[in-house]
Amino acid sequence: MSTATEPTMVPGYRHTPGNHCGSTALRNLLAFHGLELSEAMAFGLGAGACFFYLVIDGQSPSRFTNGRAARLEENFLELTGAPLRLRTDADDERSWELARETVAEGRPALLLTDLYHLDHYGRSAHFPGHAVVLAGYDDELAYLSDTGFQELQTTRLDNLARARHERNPIFPLAGHMVDLPGGAELSDLSASIPAAIERAAKEMLEPTGGEFQGVPALERFAQEVGDWPRDAADAQWCARFLYQVIERRGTGGGNFRLIYSRFLGEAGRPEAPLAARAAQHWSSLADCARLASEDGAGPTDWSRLTQEAERVLEAERSLWSELDAAG
């Protein structure tokens, strides 16, 4: 029989489901404090669209791709100048105390996690940087506002601590938490749109991550993906994971390009159709990856995957070059 106390909940917090974890969490956090943004606008203001491709031998999947910025939430704070604050603490007890105190004061806290450790997910793969909003807690459980779920989800406090402090080589976590300090006020953020677009374009065309990020990473990916059966012992799982991270794992479809196209449209930018076109090519690539991941797939399936990757590369070059030229 459980001895858990009555939960401490943030009064008036409303969970509204969304497509992507970071933009949904930011939107819901801001809405609680009275600033209404669309999820697409939150994503775009964080310069959310990007691309990473890494080969990580010794892990599975050994070929990892992701179509969003590594630190969307930090980008959002920097680019908008909103009075949100990011706090970290490598000690799991101290970082939990920061989050617990925030909720006890009646304010929600955005937490970054590795969803592998959260109780409401199957442990199929590590995925660091997954954003949730802490809406309440008791002495055993955390009550989390999480992306597409219709209701708050619960996870044990010890598993939440593991999720917030996973030392993943791609994105090591140290109790990352975002909140709005008591007494701070939010204002309109639309003036930050041009800088956010400029940041996203620069990170695709002149990436700080070198060949592992942006268009250079896409070029490597297009050259290598057809050879995964030769080069990767887990090629089938890599292809399945590729399909999932383009279409299924909180991207909103088309490797985040659909949500980015909606952001550009909301911002009144004429490049919105280019982002929608890129999304279509990403979805076609995902379908090829799904087929290549199935038993019985052969060289023809992997050849199609290479062809679609080249089409994606062309569409991405067009999108980001146009955004960069527009300034």
Residues 134-186 have pLDDT tens digits of: 999 999 999 999 998 999 999 999 999 999 999 877 778 999 999 999 999 99
Neighbour tally for 148: CB within 10 Å: 12
Q: Which of 156, 160, 164 is nearest to 139 (CA)?
A: 156
Q: How far is CA 171 from CA 128, 166, 174, in A?
A: 6, 9, 10
Question: Model confidence at 2, in pLDDT bands (50, 70, 90)?
Answer: very low
For the segment 108-122, the average pLDDT, to the nearest whole number, is 93
pLDDT at 1 over 60: no
Domains, the chain, ranges and CATH?
Answer: 16-179 (3.90.70.10), 192-326 (no CATH)
Cis amide leading into 61 (omega within 30): yes
pLDDT at 214 over 90: yes
Query: CA-CA distance, 176 to 263, in Å (whole number)?
Result: 26
pLDDT at 73 over 70: yes
pLDDT for position 229? 96
Q: Are 153 and 20 in contact (CB under 8 A)?
A: no
pLDDT for position 295? 93
What average pLDDT does the structure give for the chain? Answer: 94
Q: Are 106 and 185 in contact (CB under 8 A)?
A: no
Neighbour tally for 85: CB within 10 Å: 12
Q: Which of 166, 195, 215, 204 is nearest to 267 (CA)?
A: 195
pLDDT for position 58? 86
pLDDT at 60 over 90: no
pLDDT at 269 over 90: yes
